[in-house]
Amino acid sequence: MQRGDFNVLPCPDFDLAVTLDSGQVFQWEQHGGGFVGTIGNSPVYVEQHGAELRVTLGAAAHVERYFALDHPLGEICRLFPADPTMTAARDYCRGLRIMRQPIWECLASFITSSMKQVAHIRQMTRSLRERFGERHQLLGREVYAFPSAKKLEQASEAELRACALGYRAGNLLRTAQLVRAGEANLEAWRELPDEELRARLCGLPGVGPKVANCVMLFAYERLRAFPIDVWIERVLKQQYFPRARKLTPQRLREFCDSYFGEHGGYAQQYLFHHARKSTPRRRAAAAKRSRRRSAVVRKSSLA
């Protein structure tokens, strides 16, 4: 494709590859110099060149919203706690943005995520798209949209299990049925306050506090939501509570809400991606550099 075949968007403070690989979305695949995927039911190609995104003609507005290019990322990162662990994660994850995903796609994807690593979740959601999703042609390849609740509600549990979902198939099917019946009105839930929204989500099959917080963060744009999985629990215990003998989930949640504040979801995603992608040696070196910088700043302020 030539430049004239694209819409061009400015994208300051954005790293497309890091954002798509950060564990918040599972359906984008590399193609040429960029990535192909869908936004809703629309096939999209997007590639980054410095501070510009080149996207499929006509998709610019969808891409801008989907990748949250309007979030004041620089200000959000400046509000992170100034401890060595958070600073190292911020430096490692520069340009990572919390996306605005379609609610059903996000909810269904994270229902499949229970006890699975990112690579496995990608495989399961790819199987769901290819078996039940609408097929599109883009740049000479097939691209599949995520199947609607209506489409999955019409499937059998055995058909869903054939996508390697295991016991998650039953949870996904029952949730799709609730959505189709109107008992779970995902769009109307946008108006709910955080605690009520979390409670409604946790009432769905296969949704616990972690999945609920993921959906709140990645689909409902509740940027204070702080999902706690095994990666984050390990980081919190090792870096913020190294001497605690007994640490309850309630204490962790209260700490995260008060310590990381209104953009805790961003902080969580930076901590998660840093922990998942960097080696222990690299993390230790990054934290050491951050402590040195902090010491220099404190010394200069006292001079």
Buried b (16+ CB within 10 A) or exposed e, 185-203: ebeebeeeeeeebbebbee
- One domain for residues 8 and 109: no
Give the chain's end-to-end CA distance (angstroms, integer).
Answer: 56
Highest average pLDDT, of 4-13, 217-226, 245-254, 293-302, comes from 217-226
Q: What is the predicted pLDDT for the residue at 301?
A: 33
Residue 124: pLDDT over 70: yes
Q: What is the CATH number of the domain that holds 265?
A: 1.10.1670
What's the domain count of the chain? 3
Checking DSSP bridges between strand 52-56 and strand 42-49, what pairing results, if any? antiparallel
Q: What is the CATH number of the domain that holds 125?
A: 1.10.340.30
pTM value is 0.89
Average pLDDT over residues 191-199: 98
Task: Report if residue 75 sits inside a domain.
Answer: no
Residue 192: pLDDT over 50: yes
Q: If pLDDT is split at 50, 70 and 90, which confidence band does 6 have?
A: confident
Q: How far, CA to CA in Å, does 27 sit from each of 57, 125, 139, 213, 303?
A: 20, 7, 17, 20, 52
Q: What is the CATH number of the domain that holds 59?
A: 3.30.310.40
Q: What is the predicted pLDDT for the residue at 116?
A: 81
Q: Which residues form the domain of 276?
A: 84-90+225-294
Q: What is the predicted pLDDT for the residue at 245?
A: 84
Task: Report if residue 76 sits inside a domain.
Answer: no
CA atoms of 124 and 121, how far apart (whole Å):
5
Task: Report if residue 299 sits inside a domain.
Answer: no
Residues 6+ apart with CB under 8 A from 169: 157, 160, 161, 163
Highest average pLDDT, of 5-9, 37-41, 246-250, comes from 37-41
- The β-bridge partners of 38 are 43
Average pLDDT over residues 249-274: 96
Last residue of a domain, one of 220, 244, 265: 220
pLDDT tens-digit readout, 197-228: 999 999 999 999 999 999 999 999 999 999 99
Average pLDDT over residues 227-235: 93
Q: What percent of the chain has pLDDT over 70?
A: 90
Q: What is the predicted pLDDT for the residue at 294?
A: 42
Residue 148: pLDDT over 60: yes
- One domain for residues 173 and 269: no
Q: What is the predicted pLDDT for the residue at 278?
A: 84
- One domain for residues 111 and 209: yes
